Amino acid sequence: MELRITITQENVDKIVQLIKELVQAEEPIMTTSDVGTVKPAVQKLERASRYLMPPPELENLPNGKVITDSREAKYVGALGLFNSFFPVKAVLRVLTHMMKENDGKPVSLQQLVDRSVEVFVATGLSGYRGFPMRRKGKRGEGSAIGRLVWHFIVPARNMGLIEADGKIPTRGWDSVRVSVTKEGWEFARLENRLLDGKERVQVLSEAEREWMLSHLRKIDEKGYKEYSFLLRIFEELKRGNTDIAAWLERDKQFNEYVKSWSRKKGDPSEFRKQIRNMAVMFAQGKIALLRELGVISNKRNEYTVIGQLGG
């Protein structure tokens, strides 16, 4: 059988994923008359995949510093747009390999996000929740990178998994140097179903689950209330309440959080709309995290409790 493949910017994700699966299967079922087209894609995939391997040994890693001086940390932990541990895990691995290449020294945040997006696209991860897709045009690509930074890298820093030598600005990420912490390295080294196996599922392994829950409890005691907020939502789900967004709309603590920063709190009608929108966002994001932690069914629109979050 002869298969001709033309690789374009639009289909590269699908093609490299196909090539990866064929190589893993070790079955000579694909040939090509255009080796010059396929070979660079295979080489690109191989280079990118190395950055997702378990982290190399690094010396003198800093202890993680938990950032608790925000309203979010006090009430809800990370913003509702933080909806997956997997992009954090992948970024941590990319960061450790980049630091190894840099003699164990920190790297610029701009270099980290550029390399991470490159790796995610090349390895087909951009199709999974939380992973940015490279889009046409500066505007689209900028928004994808911005989401990676603000929705995942910043929360990872706030949770003590990444260290930065200064405040992360809206622009000018070349001026910020980042490094993995001891805690970030520990989480990165644990086996992951998506990155290390062939499972196309965003559910943490048992080792990852235990480590992350332990870490969330520790930082909760320091004032970063991600675990507390997840536990409150989980308890509602255990009681059979699957409309978490509606529950958050009525929840006194969640209302206090939104009021603490809202410019619309003086207008009851507009504030209710804002609460509703925020409740939906947080409900979706936190439930996604509970699914990844293996305590809620991973099937869409199903909320069956299958594990325990307490302890």
Domain-wise residue ranges, the chain = 12-50, 71-292
The pTM (predicted TM-score) of the whole model is 0.85
Which two three-digit tokens encode residue 8?
A: 């374009």
Give the whole-angstrom CA distance, residue 245 versus residue 233. 10
CA 255 to chain centre: 26
Report yes or no: 94 and 115 within 8 Å, Cβ to Cβ: yes
| Amino acid of residue 55 | P
Please answer whether residues 42 and 68 qualify as being in contact, where contact means their C-beta atoms are separated by less than 8 angstroms: no
Which has the higher per-residue pLDDT, 241 or 40?
241
pLDDT at position 143: 77
| Alpha carbon separation from 135 to 10, 71, 100, 139, 183 (Å, rounded) | 9, 33, 29, 8, 32
Query: What residues does 108 pair with on adjacent strands?
Result: 177
Task: Write out the two tokens for 101.
Answer: 């290449």
Distance between CA atoms of 262 and 54, rounded to whole angstroms? Answer: 42
Model confidence at 130, pLDDT cuts 50, 70, 90, reads very high
Residue 1 confidence (pLDDT) above 70: no
pLDDT number for residue 10: 46
Q: Tell me the C-alpha distance between 73 and 78, whole Å.
A: 7
Question: pLDDT tens for residues 161-172?
Answer: 999 998 898 877
Give 198 or 110, the one with higher predicted confidence.
110
Whether residue 11 has pLDDT greater than 60: no
| Residues paired with 178 in a beta bridge | 107, 164
pLDDT band at 20 (very low <50, low <70, confident <90, very high): low
pLDDT value, residue 37: 52
Decide if 13 contacts 127 (C-beta within 8 A).
yes
What percent of the chain lies above the pLDDT cut of 90?
Answer: 73
